[in-house]
């Protein structure tokens, strides 16, 4: 098998550029706002305590945020070198726990949710879209379409609350939160794995339901031009069996849908962040909401950065896979 | 000759009516876009009526709390004692306004960026492409949270401006990518090439030909971005980084969830805004898909009419 070298180099280049852009965005955003987060919090504290605050506190806060009055390029370089050393600052909410420690606990759970739910919804969605496309312009197609569109349009977090209410609060079939039962020791044992699946069921179900529509509709619209194309007509006339034709059209249609896969990592990440806070799942989403409520800028920025890196790496892997799967790209660099 | 060029006011109006009629005709060619259009028009009428005819003041805490639907409050009352129907009615217009603003402004930006990069030199194209990619890759919710908290940090009442800005910032990139690829494919067509060879300026080609050629995509993208605007509004409000003092369907959901309406079984409070948002987004999706089918013939070869025509030719052979 030929390795598409130029394609891979392009993708690596893009990866670095986007990563750099995101890191810079993360640096610029807090500095765009008049005043700074430290001042905002300081003012609040002053107001709350009636002015009895030592001004040194402001300096302390600024130091914690990594805010200084040095020229911008110096700040930027310090920021980059801190990042490079894995120093993301200290969380305010969970003072004095470093942001990196929180992330190390939370990120694996989020990744677990994202990967599981994307895989499931990719599989089911494509199958449903295939079903709709094959039965195009019949009531079956219409049912699939309307169902997908409705699922895509219903507010995701309301769906999460409804599911939580039905299955966990009233039904008591599933737990209200957490990633695994506290009575079980963490480790790769069968009861632990069962407990993890049991706790992840509702969040995954919600994300799958709300992200299914995109895949289904995408698949349907990819497979129909394929089924209408001349080579399928030709194969049909040659007497090829219907299931073979369907599988050929399906395979052709799944490739463009895979490009959507890299886009959907970001989208699913958005969904997961929201769902985690609703299902009290100890991933980055839950911490993100806490961070926002407490104006915990270091934690917010740390999460922002980690999530972007995760999404970028995911994209990168999908792009590489795509390079190997798509013969056009494989041959291009020959 | 001179008299032909003199079009009277009446004829102009007739011409405009004919044109809108034919545009509507295109919408009604396709079942999906027709349904979407009808739903959207109904919601718009509901929204406009809501500006004037809300039965009670949507903000006033004038009723007993958490009443189920009854003869006075058709949809019951909120956990704070407001009339749910009045909120739903009066909140429709702001919700639609945000959706449409995000749709229009976001589409304008993405058309500008997309067409520009489709026509620019390779280096500029690469630069634009990576910026678009940054916005595509970064999860929108994170940007909403970050920008939202910073706008909150400003501590100024800017109305819906921050919300709309945030949604445009997070929502323009997808369209830009679409327009870039569409422009690239259109600009390779022969008639564009001949215009270039004749010596027509780039600006004139873009405005006279490219924009015209990609118009269906622009309209379809408008509905997609507007849908994002409505969905994004619910997220902005849900995360509490929007303008919570205003009544719209997003804030209704925020307060309902904040008061744990789902736990106390106050479905009349949480479901109406959800279903209205759902209906609005549904209409946008239908319009987006219907227009795609109209613009992309390969998606619609197999409708009933064509199949009949095909059978006729088959039997003739």
Residue keyed to tokens 């990168």: A316
List pLDDT tens digits, range B203-238: 888 888 888 888 888 888 999 999 999 998 988 888
Supply the mean pLDDT for chain A: 82
Contacts 24+ apart (CB under 8 A), A327-333: A329/A4, A329/A7, A330/A1, A330/A2, A330/A4, A331/A2, A332/A4, A332/A6, A332/A7, A333/A2, A333/A3, A333/A4, A333/A5, A333/A6, A333/A7
Task: Give the pTM.
Answer: 0.82
Confidence (pLDDT) at A35 = 58
Q: What is the pLDDT of residues B52-111, one digit of tens each?
A: 888 888 887 777 777 788 877 878 888 788 888 988 998 999 999 999 999 999 999 999
- Given this model, what pLDDT does residue A68 score? 66
Rounded CA-CA distance B223/B283 in Å is: 9
Is B227 an 8 Å CB contact of chain A? yes
Q: Which of A32, A157, A158 would best serve as a mutation to test chain B binding (most B beta carbons within 10 A)?
A: A158
Instruction: Look up the ipTM and state it.
Output: 0.78
- For A60-113, the pLDDT digits (tens) are 777 766 666 777 788 888 888 888 887 877 887 787 788 888 888 888 999 999
C-alpha–C-alpha distance, residues B134 and B131, integer Å:
5
Q: Which residue has the tokens 């449903």?
A: A128
A285 closest CA partner among A300, A296, A301, A274: A274
How distant is the alpha carbon of residue A230 from its chain centre? 39
Judged by CB atoms within 8 Å, which residues 232-251 of B form the interface with A?
234-235, 238-241
- B134: nearest CA in chain A? A18
Minimal C-alpha gap between A194 and chain B (Å): 28
pLDDT for residue B278: 92
User: From CA B205, how far away is CA B203, in angstroms rounded?
Assistant: 5
Report the range of poorest mean pLDDT among A154-158, B18-22, B98-102: B18-22
The candidate with the shortest Cα–Cα distance to B226, out of B49, B86, B44, is B44
- CA-to-CA distance for A201 and A167, rounded, in angstroms? 11
- The angle, 0 to 180 degrees and rounded to 10, between the axes of the packed helices A139-153 and A190-228 is 130
pLDDT over 90 (residue A36)? no
Contact A122, A213 (CB under 8 A): no
Q: Please give the Cα distance from A110 to A276 (Å, whole number).
A: 8
Judged by CB atoms closer than 8 Å, whether chains meet at B138 and A266 is answered as yes
Note the helical H segments in chain B: 2-5, 9-29, 31-53, 84-119, 122-137, 140-154, 161-171, 173-186, 190-198, 202-205, 211-213, 215-238, 249-258, 267-295, 304-316
Task: Give the mutation candidate from A27, A270, A315 for the B interface (greatest B CB count, under 10 A).
Answer: A270
CA distances from B249 to A194, B253, B270, B303 (A): 39, 6, 10, 38
- CA-nearest of A111, A90, A151, A104 to A314 is A111
Say what the pLDDT of residue B315 is: 42
Whether B44 shows a pLDDT value over 90: the answer reads: yes
- Å from B291 to nearest chain A CA? 13
Alpha-carbon distance of A92 to A83, in angstroms, equals 18
Q: How far is CA A73 from the centre of its chain?
A: 31
- Give the least confident one: A208-212, A255-259, B298-302: B298-302
Asked whether the beta carbons of B239 and B145 are under 8 A apart, the reply is: yes
Give yes or no for residue B145 having a pLDDT over 50. Answer: yes
* Own/partner long-range contacts of A64-67 (Cβ < 8 Å, ≥24 apart): A64/A38, A64/A89, A64/A90, A64/A92, A64/A298, A65/A30, A65/A36, A65/A37, A65/A38, A65/A89, A65/A297, A65/A298, A66/A298, A67/A30, A67/A36, A67/A37, A67/A38
B46 pLDDT above the threshold of 90: yes
Mean pLDDT, rounded, of chain B: 81
Beta carbons of B231 and B295 less than 8 angstroms apart: no
Band of the pLDDT at B312, cuts 50, 70, 90?
Answer: very low
Lowest model confidence (mean pLDDT) among A28-32, A228-232, A296-300, B12-16: A28-32
Measure the CA–CA gap between A184 and A199, rounded to whole angstroms.
13
Q: What is the tens place of the pLDDT at every residue in A172-224?
A: 788 877 777 777 777 777 888 888 888 889 999 999 998 888 889 888 888 88
8 Å CB contact of A315 and B137: yes
- A269 neighbourhood in chain B, CB within 8 Å: 139, 141-142
Burial class (CB in 10 A: 0-12, 13-18, 19+), B34: middle
Output the pLDDT for position A307: 85
> What residues of chain B lie within 8 A of the CB of A17, using their CB?
130, 133
Residues 168-197 of B with CB under 8 A from A: none
Tell me what the mean pLDDT of segment A255-270 comes to: 77
DSSP line for A172-217: -SS-SS-SS-TTS--SS-HHHHHHHHHHHHHHHHHHHHHHHHHHHH
Q: What percentage of chain A exceeds 90 in pLDDT?
A: 8
Q: CA A167 to CA A183: how far, in whole Å?
A: 22
Residue B55: which residues within 8 A CB-CB, separation 6 or more?
B83, B85, B86, B89
């Amino acid at each position: 098998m030929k390795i598409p070298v130029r394609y891979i180099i392009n993708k690596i280049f893009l990866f670095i550029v986007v990563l750099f852009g995101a890191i810079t965005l993360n640096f610029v955003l807090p500095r765009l706002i008049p005043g700074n987060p430290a001042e905002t919090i300081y003012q609040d504290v002053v107001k709350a305590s009636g002015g009895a605050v030592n001004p040194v506190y402001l300096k302390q806060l600024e130091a914690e945020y990594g805010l200084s009055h040095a020229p911008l390029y110096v700040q930027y370089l310090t920021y980059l070198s801190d990042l490079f050393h894995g120093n993301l600052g200290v969380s305010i909410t969970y003072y004095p726990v470093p942001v990196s420690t929180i992330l190390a606990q939370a990120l694996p759970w989020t990744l677990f949710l994202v990967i599981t739910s994307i895989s499931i919804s990719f599989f089911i969605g494509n199958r449903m879209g295939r079903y709709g496309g094959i039965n195009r312009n019949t009531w079956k197609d219409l049912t699939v379409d309307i169902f997908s569109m409705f699922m895509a349009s219903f507010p995701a977090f309301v769906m999460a609350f409804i599911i939580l209410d039905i299955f966990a609060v009233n039904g008591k079939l599933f737990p209200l939160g957490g990633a695994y039962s506290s009575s079980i020791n963490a480790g790769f044992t069968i009861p632990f794995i069962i407990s993890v699946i049991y706790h992840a069921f509702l969040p995954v179900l919600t994300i799958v339901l709300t992200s299914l529509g995109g895949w289904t509709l995408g698949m349907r619209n990819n497979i129909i031009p394929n089924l209408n194309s001349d080579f399928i007509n030709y194969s049909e006339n040659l007497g090829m069996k219907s299931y073979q034709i369907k599988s050929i059209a399906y395979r052709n249609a799944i490739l463009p849908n895979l490009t959507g896969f890299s886009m959907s990592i970001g989208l699913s990440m958005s969904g997961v962040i929201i769902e985690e806070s609703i299902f009290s799942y100890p991933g980055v989403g839950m911490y993100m909401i806490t961070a926002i409520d407490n104006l915990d800028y270091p934690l917010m920025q740390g999460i922002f950065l980690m999530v972007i890196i995760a999404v970028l790496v995911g994209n990168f892997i999908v792009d590489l896979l795509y390079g190997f799967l798509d013969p056009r790209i494989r041959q291009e660099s020959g | 000759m001179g008299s032909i060029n003199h079009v009277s006011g009446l004829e102009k109006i007739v011409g405009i009516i004919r044109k809108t009629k034919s545009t509507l005709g295109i919408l009604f060619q396709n079942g999906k876009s027709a349904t979407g259009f009808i739903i959207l028009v109904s919601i718009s009428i509901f929204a406009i009526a809501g500006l004037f005819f809300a039965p009670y003041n949507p903000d006033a805490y004038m009723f007993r709390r958490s009443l189920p639907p009854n003869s006075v409050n058709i949809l019951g009352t909120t956990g704070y004692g407001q009339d749910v129907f009045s909120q739903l009615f009066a909140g429709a217009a702001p919700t639609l306004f945000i959706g449409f603003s995000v749709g229009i402004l976001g589409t304008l930006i993405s058309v500008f960026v997309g067409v520009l990069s489709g026509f620019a030199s390779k280096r500029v194209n690469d630069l634009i492409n990576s910026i678009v990619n940054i916005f595509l890759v970064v999860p929108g919710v994170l940007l909403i949270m970050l920008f939202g908290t910073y706008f909150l940090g400003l501590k100024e009442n800017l109305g819906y401006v921050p919300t709309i800005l945030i949604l445009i910032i997070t929502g323009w990139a997808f369209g830009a990518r679409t327009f870039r690829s569409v422009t690239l494919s259109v600009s390779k067509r022969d008639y564009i090439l001949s215009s270039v060879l004749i010596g027509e300026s780039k600006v004139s080609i873009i405005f006279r030909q490219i924009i015209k050629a990609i118009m269906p995509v622009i309209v379809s993208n408008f509905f997609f971005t507007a849908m994002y605007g409505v969905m994004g509004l619910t997220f902005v409000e849900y995360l509490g980084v929007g303008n919570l003092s205003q009544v719209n369907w997003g804030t209704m959901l925020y307060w309902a969830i904040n008061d744990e309406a789902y736990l106390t079984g106050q479905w009349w409070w949480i479901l109406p805004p959800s279903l209205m948002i759902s209906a609005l987004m549904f209409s946008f999706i239908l319009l987006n898909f219907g227009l795609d089918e109209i613009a992309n013939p390969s998606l619609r070869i197999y409708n009933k009419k064509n199949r009949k025509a095909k059978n006729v030719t088959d039997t003739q052979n």
